Structure formats: C-alpha cells, structure tokens
Structure 1
Amino acid sequence: MTISSVFLAHGSPFTIFEESEFTMFLNRFGKENRPKAIIIFSAHFEHEITTIAATDDIHEMGYDYYGFPDSFYQVQYPARGSTIVASIVEERLKEHNIPVQLKYRGLDHGVFPIMMKAYPEADIPIVPVSVNPYLPARQQIAIGEALQGLEKDGILVIGSGFISHNFSAFDREKDAPPREWAVEFKNWIRDKVLARDIEAMSQYNVLAPHAAMAVPRAEHFVPLLIALGSGTAARY
C-alpha cells in the first residue's frame, strides 16, 4: 500500500545517536516506504507565509539546538533537495489561493534526526516546508488538502512535530509514566485522526480534553493537521 502522508514525532537531538523502539520504528518505516521524494513540514521551520526551501544541491545542516556535545554539531545528512518537487508544492498551494514563497533554509532537527534513521543512505530528495502556528486549524488542514494525491507521483508528505509539547509540564525523571492529561489528549486526537473527523480536528483546541495544556503553542501540533489534510487513509 502506498501512503500519501504520515505524521512523525521527531524526538530530540538525542535521536541522532540513540537506538530505541522509536528509532527501530523509523528504520522499519523507511524500509517499508520508499518514495521518490519527500515533502516535510517541520515544527522547527516557522514562517508567516508558507515557505518552500528549494534547491537541487545537498542541503545545509541547521543545528538548531544548544548545549549538546560537539559531536551533535558535526553530524552530516547529505540529502539533496528538488526544485521540481518544490515547484509542484508551490503550484498546488497557489491553485488553492494559499500564499507561498520560495526561500532556502537548511535541514533542522525536526528533519535530519528522523530522516537519518528512516533513510540512512540520504538518497531521497527532501523538500522542507514551513509552518505558521498562528493559522486556524482548518487552514492548516487546507494546506495539506492542497497536496492530496502526490503519492501518485511517488511523493510522500511528512509532518514532523509532537502531539503534545509542553516543556513547562515535562517530567525529566527517567522512566516517568505519561501524564494522565497527555494520554487523554493523545487518545482523543488518535480517535479523530483514524476516523478522519476533519470537523472535530478543526476544533481540537476547544473539543479535545486538556488541549490548552497539551498544546500551549501550536507549532509542534500543526504538522499533524497538515499531514491529516494531505492524507487519504490511516495506516500507522
């Protein structure tokens, strides 16, 4: 089965070097899904206007994290971009009256750690696209809807972020159980995504339990909405 889109948690910079159930999943996902090109909406690439990082060259590395050992700033992931795929995204968004621009930006840690695990050969072109966390949820979904059907051309749309992302409520104790509010929010989101309930997801911030706690700022959540909009059927 060819999938059209997927939402992936991007973990932390530690994902680069760790071996875990999460990284094993990414490895399995990459082996089972081999697109010709990838469009990725990263929570760490924000812009008011939807911005496409267009290049045919090997991407620059954006080490957008602080306080890690030197080895974290020496990692290379030499994937190329694709101006052809970037132009397809631009054309699709313009057709749907979505403001868009081409402006280059390298790979951030919402992109290269998970891509290193899923596609370690770096042999699939990657086109990063920005998110605007201030747009209403329905508009986020509409950005994804503009990209529906690209799997027919071998293009996979990825949203990279987190379902819940609240550092002020983060429990740093090792092996700490998940917070009850986070589980309830995640379960609600999962049910609505699997049901492809666009109406409910468009109002997640008022309908989902503990939404304000789970999503105090939406930059990590909107990649899920975009992936939902561009998708056809849930699989993972």
Structure 2
Amino acid sequence: MSDSARMPAIFFGHGSPMNALEDNRYTQAWEAFGKQFPRPKAILAVSAHWTTRGTAVTAATAPVTIHDFGGFPQALFDVRYPAPGDPALAARVAELLAPLPVGMDQQWGLDHGTWSVLVKTYPQADIPVVQLSIDIEKPPAYHFALGQKLQALRDEGVMIIGTGNVVHNLRRLDRDASGQGWGWAARFNNAIRKYLQEGDLQGVVNYQSLGQDALLSVPTPEHFLPLLYILGSKAEGDVLDIPLDGMEMGAISMLSVVVS
C-alpha cells in the first residue's frame, strides 16, 4: 500500500447472490481482503443494484437488509447483514459531491450487491456502511468523475467498494459453460483487464468503443459502472491489482480490482 493511512478501494465481481452462502475461490478471496487490509472506520458502497435518477446516499442509522432477487433458496432470504449506517458519512459524501444535489435516503438499505460480499469480507457486520446510488441516466465519464471527488474519503478511514460485474449478460447465461465462456465475453473481459494492467483508465471509461463485444458484455450499464467509481478514486502513487478473475456460466465476469 502506497500510504499506510489510506484505505483501499475495491471492485468486487459479485456474481450470484448464492456466493453469500457458498465457500469457493471467490468468497475465499473476499474473506482474505478483510484480513489483508487495515480495518476501515466505515465503508462507502456503490452497488449495481441501486440505480436512480439523480444521486442519493443511504442516511438511515440502521439500514435494512434488502433481498432484491427471486428464485433462490429460503436460506438466502434468511440472511441478515445488520451493519449500522453512518449519517455523518452520508453528509460527508454529499459535501464532497457538491454542488451536485445528493438525496439523504431513509428507505433504501443494503442490497445484495453489497451484503453478499461484505458477509464474507466483514462477517461481524460491525463496520458502518453507506450506499451511494448510481444515476443511471449519466454517461460513464460522469461516474468516473464522481469517484475522483470521493477519493478524499480513503484518507479519512473510509473504504470505498464497488460491486458489479465487468461482463454481465443474464440473457446469454450457459450453465454448462466452463473456462472463458462466450468468445465476446472473453474478449471484452481480456480487453478491460489489459487496460487495467496498463493503467489506461480512460480505456475502461470508454469501454463502449469495444463495439459489439461491449454491447453483448454490458447490455445495460449498471453492473459495469461501479468499477468506474473505484478507478476514479485512485490516488497518485496507488497500485492497481487484479487479485481475482474468472468467467461464470459463460457471461458473468468475476474480475475484481484492488486500488491501494
């Protein structure tokens, strides 16, 4: 880590909600993250599963666990992640994003994009968590710029996490797929990974320039955009690492990125 006082920023390829219950190489890596880095004072999460018009943060003191999915075993609906909220952090986020208006949301809680990874990384659920919504009407560069404005939080004891998937096309899932999956998915994932390894963050922001592979891999943007907040929060001198990758069911990339 380039600065011992600076918290990392992490993009989790979160994949299936069932990862919250399972023990696999992805969840084992998430558990390792929780042990590898200093304990944060609080966590700011950007999840693929909270999209809005405009921008909002969760400001409740006790955010609820949201089970925003269907067709899974009852055990998954029984999971609770009772982390406290942090209204002061919500206000600080609004301050950093000014003059952008930021709503203080009392209704939304922690959706599965957030809790399915944190239940592995910080299973005690004793670190305050605030979620920031994704304004789905804005272009990729807008979200990268918001990440840049939030960078200061990392020097204030706050870990920033984004959860989504670089490739996420539920209509093209192949449950019998193994290895790299569909050619377009592998090509897109490899191209994004190459941009990351070369430090070409604008290449990632401009992912739509990858043409048909991008259209198939990112048919809707919400699972890709959380990555841009993490890249935007990268400070000068930070190291970017890709500790985890893999393609599930042909069309879901589990690539994860750590900025520290």
Q: How does 1:138-157 map to 2 (within 5 A)?
A: 138-157=141-160
2:92 corresponds to which of 88, 94, 107: 88
1:100 corresponds to which of 102, 105, 111: 102
Query: Partner letter of residue 229 of structure 2?
Result: I
Query: Partner letter of residue 94 of structure 2?
Result: E
Deviations 1:49-71 (A, max 9, x none): 111001222x2111101122222
Conserved in 1, the CA contact under 8 Å of 2:66 and 2:110? Answer: yes
User: What's 2:256 paired with?
Assistant: none
Give the superposition deviation at 1:24. Answer: 0.3
TM-score scaled by length of structure 2: 0.84
Conserved in 2, the CA contact under 8 Å of 1:38 and 1:126? Answer: yes
User: What's 1:184 paired with?
Assistant: 187
**Relative to structure 2, which stretch is displaced further, 195-204 or 141-150?**
195-204
Q: Are residue 159 (structure 1) and residue 152 (structure 2) matched?
A: no
SS at the partner of 1:39? strand
Query: Partner letter of residue 183 of structure 1?
Result: A
Q: Let me know the Cα RMSD of the aligned residues.
A: 1.7
SS at the partner of 1:149? helix
- In 2, Cα distance between the equivalents of 1:98 and 1:151? 20
User: What's 1:131 paired with?
Assistant: 134
Give the superposition deviation at 1:194. Answer: 3.3
Aligned residues: 233
Q: 1:171 to 1:29 in 2, by over 3 A?
A: same
The structure where strand makes up a greater share of residues is 2
2:33 corresponds to which of 14, 21, 29: 29
User: What's 1:44 paired with?
Assistant: 49
Instruction: Give the gaps of 5 or more residues in structure 1.
Output: none
Conserved in 2, the CA contact under 8 Å of 1:52 and 1:86? Answer: yes
Give the superposition deviation at 1:235. Answer: 2.7
- In 2, Cα distance between the equivalents of 1:195 and 1:91? 33
Query: Partner letter of residue 235 of structure 1?
Result: D
- In 1, Cα distance between the equivalents of 2:203 and 2:101? 25
User: What's 1:54 paired with?
Assistant: 59
Conserved in 1, the CA contact under 8 Å of 2:33 and 2:121? Answer: yes
SS at the partner of 1:193? helix
Q: 1:208 to 1:40 in 2, by over 3 A?
A: farther
Deviations 1:53-108 (A, max 9, x none): 01222x211110112222221111111010111111110001xx333211121111
Conserved in 1, the CA contact under 8 Å of 2:52 and 2:135? Answer: yes
Conserved in 2, the CA contact under 8 Å of 1:162 and 1:220? Answer: yes
SS at the partner of 1:111? helix
Structure 1 moving runs of 4+ over 6 Å? none
Give the superposition deviation at 1:230. Answer: 1.1
Q: 1:124 to 1:187 in 2, by over 3 A?
A: same
User: What's 2:254 paired with?
Assistant: none
User: What's 2:231 paired with?
Assistant: 228
SS at the partner of 2:97? helix
User: What's 2:123 paired with?
Assistant: 120
Identity of aligned residues (%): 36
- In 1, Cα distance between the equivalents of 2:77 and 2:150? 33
User: What's 1:214 paired with?
Assistant: 217
**Relative to structure 2, which stretch is displaced further, 193-202 or 179-188?**
193-202
- In 1, Cα distance between the equivalents of 2:180 and 2:233? 33
Q: Are residue 4 (structure 1) and residue 37 (structure 2) matched?
A: no
Q: 1:208 to 1:154 in 2, by over 3 A?
A: farther
Conserved in 2, the CA contact under 8 Å of 1:4 and 1:150? Answer: no
Give the superposition deviation at 1:3. Answer: 4.2
